[in-house]
Structure 1
Amino acid sequence: MKGRFGRLPSMQALVGFESAARLKSFTRAADELYMTQSAVSHQIRTLEELLGQAVFRRMGRTVELTDAGADLLETTSRTLSTLSSGINRLDFYTKPGSVVFNCPPAWASHWLLNRLPDLKRVCPGLDPWIDTTIEAINFDHSETDCAIWYGDGAWPGLTVEKLYAETLSPVCTPAYASHFNNFQQADQLLEADLLHDERWEGWNSWFSAVGINRVAPVTGVNFSDPGLMLESALAGHGVALASLPLARHAIDSGSLVQPFETTVGTGKSWYLVGEPRRISRPAARSFWDWLLQQSRSTSHEQI
């Protein structure tokens, strides 16, 4: 096969080669592939003629890979495995209740997962594919139906619904708070283990909001993932300046406490974003409406 990818053997030849190389026998490969031994031998000969070199050494009833054959086996096994996985994924798109949803890992673990039982109750026919790829989604070149984006909401050509204005506030476990008399005063936080993420709206912003103008401690664990920072707070490692939309479930369940009502905003919000044509599909529209309902379901989470 010629063209964009140069000289490529047939798929049948690669499958036959991989089986014979893995089993070290043309006969056993033939049994596995429901072919005759001569058919497998013909595939291997065709492959070797295309490559211009041997990939097997024939040794009686067994075969051994040449150095070139061993190299080719590694590539072939990896390629066939990737292709098989990709083809198996396509079955998802034929399911009537399929919805491809992209969101940040922190959103999936701290907002979405605990709500999935409600989704199955309200929309029992929906089967979402939850993608937590962090790269920006291009709806023109992906199968994504809808996504959660963080920003200013200015994305022309897409349907955009604001879910939450981002607000940050200190959170920790009740047990950790008890070591500081449940944080009666904000300046007690200066002596606590502060957990940090990579937002520029850091602890200094919050301390300034409560009238404390001292520079916040820079010691403590730093996280690139706000979801992992929240997990650290849940593990009792310290106090996180956390996203309240993401921490709300843990606060409402009592796993975390919010010692102070003071919050700081980031000037950005969480948005539900979708390509208009795709979210018009019944399954995608049901999922979209459920996400909106969930985001507005309690007074804690009103926009």
Structure 2
Amino acid sequence: MIAPRRFLPSISSLRALEALDRLGSASAVAEELSLTQSAISRQLQALERQLGIDLIVRDKKRLTLTTEAKEYASEVRQALNQIAQSTLRLQTSPLVGTLSLAILPAFGMRWLMPRLPNFSRLHPEVTINMATRLEQFNFAGEPFDAAIHYGHADWPGTQSLLLKNERLIPVCAASLIEKKQITAPSDILDLPLLHIQTRPLAWAHWFESQGELKLPPLSGTMYDQFATIIQAALHGLGVALLPDYLVEQDLASGRLRALHPFPVETSGAYYLVWPETKSRHAALHKFRDWLATQSQPEDPLPR
């Protein structure tokens, strides 16, 4: 059911309010929207009359938003952005299916991208638009139909498909250990450790899984993305605990050395996640069914 008219102000008045919050002056709003300042003032007055709330503080010729209006403008901005994104998708692909997908940069590049040509051959009618997101977000405030998510299948209001469990292995450049003997996990503690922000306890959990329960403080340098921590490991800055799928090529070529004979599975995993409201989305349905053929147990990574 659509909300009553009194709760649905005109797009023009909402754009004026949002722009005033963002730009800070009526003259700047008028220039951006190609209107006169008088027209902007009338739109804001009409919005106040419709809502029955004072939104604007008028100090001589200067217009500013009340605290409540600023919060309202922030929410309106998200809604306007979502309308704009939906309109763009409709205009760019009006006759074919379009899927807006949020991806994790490393997983998207190393696991998903090599497989996508197969999906494109099977479903040329579906266009996939992708953007990276490192952290979980609110589907209601982001224009995505689905997302690649790391963690557990516990995202509220969503359904999910398991893609791949994560298995970690400690790796470093050969130059870092050329004069050292690494015969037990505890020997790694004598080397500089590299940490990833999205897995702050990864090293502690790994050592515990190897029976090292009395650990010293695990200091070291911190990185925000796998791409940078891999480069740090390649240049001999320390030992990185990385998902095996990210470093298999570097291990095969000898650019990195594994400091443990096999990867250790973690409690986290990679999922395709989508809002329950999108469960009948045609393009998502095709993508989800195809991904189910790529998920565990999986074929070897395409070369």
Shorter-chain TM range is: 0.5 to 0.7
Greater shift in the superposed pair: 116-125 or 197-206: 116-125
* Cα 1:283–1:266 shift into 2, 3 Å: closer
**CA deviations over 1:34-80 (Å, ceiling 9, x no partner):** x7x875675566578874987263xxxxxx31xxx233599487566
> Over aligned residue pairs, what C-alpha RMSD do you find?
5.2
| Secondary structure, counterpart of 2:205 in structure 1 | coil
Superposed, 1:93-108 pairs within 5 Å as 93-94=89-90, 95=93, 96-102=96-102, 108=104
**Secondary structure of the structure 1 residue equivalent to 2:167:** strand
Distance 1:120 1:128, change over 3 A: farther
Q: Are 2:119 and 1:119 aligned?
A: no
Give me the TM-score of the superposition, normalised by structure 2: 0.60
SS across alignment from 1:202? helix
- Report the CA distance shift for 1:290/1:87 in structure 2 as closer, same or farther (over 3 A): same
Number of the residue aligned with 1:190: 189
Contact 1:198 1:222 in 2 (8 A): no
Cα distance change on mapping 1:98 and 1:14 into 2, 3 Å: closer
Partner residue of 1:181 out of 178, 183, 193: 178
CA 1:250–1:90 in 2, change beyond 3 Å: closer, same or farther? Answer: farther
Q: Are 2:300 and 1:298 aligned?
A: yes
> 1:112 and 1:229 mapped to 2: Cα distance?
17
Equivalent in the alignment of 1:202:
206
1:109 aligns with 2:102: no
Structure 2 CA distance for partners of 1:217 and 1:21, relative to 1, 3 Å: closer
TM-score, normalised with respect to structure 1: 0.60
Give the conservation status (yes or no) of the 8 Å contact 2:151–2:270: yes
AA at the equivalent of 1:203: F
Residue 65 of structure 2 is aligned to residue 71 of structure 1? yes
Structure 2 gap segments, 5+ residues each: none
Q: Which is greater in Rg?
A: 1
Structure 1 residue identity aligned to 2:206? G
**1:192 deviation in Å?**
0.8
Higher strand residue share: 2
CA offsets 1:181-219 (integer angstroms, 9 cap, x no match): 18653344232112343135232423x3xxxx6845434
Residue 60 of structure 1 corresponds to none
Is there any run of 5+ residues in structure 1 with no aligned partner, and where? 58-63
Shift of 1:113: 1.9
Note the C-alpha offset of 1:32.
1.8
Q: Which residue of 1 aligns with 2:34?
A: 32
Q: Which amino acid aligns with 1:89?
A: Q
Q: 1:83-94, aligned counterparts within 5 Å?
A: 83-91=79-87, 93-94=89-90
Identity of aligned residues (%): 19
C-alpha deviation, 1:126, in angstroms: 2.5
Q: 1:4-15 alignment to 2 at 5 Å?
A: 11-13=11-13
The counterpart of 2:27, out of the listed 20, 23, 38, is 23
Q: CA deviation at 1:16?
A: 5.8
CA separation in 1, counterparts of 2:56 and 2:165? Answer: 64
Change (3 A) 1:137 1:252: farther
8 Å Cα contact 2:170/2:239 also seen in 1: yes
Instruction: Give 2:263's aligned residue.
Output: 263
1:61 maps to which residue? Answer: none
* Offset of residue 223 of structure 1: 5.1
Count how many residue pairs are aligned between Structure 1 and Structure 2. Answer: 269
Q: 2:175, 2:236 within 8 Å by CA — same for their partners in 1?
A: no
Closer, same or farther in 2 for the Cα pair 1:255/1:122, shift >3 Å?
Answer: farther
